[in-house]
Structure 1
């Protein structure tokens, strides 16, 4: 009987520790938690001028000045785009997390949810490399392909106090 209890406790501990978030990811989540303004979107590895639709949602110029809110206690948040002649304004709700792939830098990942926190994207989401993260600034990067050529979209945020 004692062996089976010990085995059950061991299995429980392994399960708990394998599902836990690393200290590094937890620290990054704590820093990200709060309100950010997306100040600038830029493109690396490109020639010429670019315009793109970001996250299958809106043109890049619509995202500049957008307000992003990340709540770390339940992994939800939203971003808000201002209404404009080219931009469909309003809130977009997200579920987010920080992941640490073995072969890359940490990434912010998110998917779209509705106001009731239900997935509306069929499990599809986005991952952005965390290139820089401080208490006041965050730079995220995503790799995309344009006509078979790699382009990096750079998102520069400032944290609101």
Structure 2
């Protein structure tokens, strides 16, 4: 048989279920069906029946699109998780504060270590300037055999060294 000869072959076959409702119940069903934007009351009733079946089969997993209430056990779990998150957040903030303090301490230690690391070189430049009164950068470099950037770090301390009008370095 071709599809043209039997057009009802591809259509659904419906089984009808009838139930009795009072006129006030019928009005209430119609009101909720209209409120939820269902085209027909039978579609609304069908949806409610299948929602009920799903809830009975999987009560812990079911979240109805029409039911905005949350299981009290789930609310308790959510509240517990939020409390744990808040505790962890406080711990993280405390650790971040400690980390900032540690970074500041490390920066101070680096400055102290850098100044202490160059103390031998500083002493040699001070001794050299005490002997010669004033020297140019090239002369200091030739006498101490230090790199130019190290000499600049040492002589940049204006409390110990000064630059004369001729561009030479001397002790204060």
Say yes or no: TM over 0.5. Answer: no
Which of the pair has the greater relative contact order for Cα pairs under 8 Å at 6+ separation? 1
Point out the structure with the larger strand share: 1
Point out the structure with the larger helix share: 2
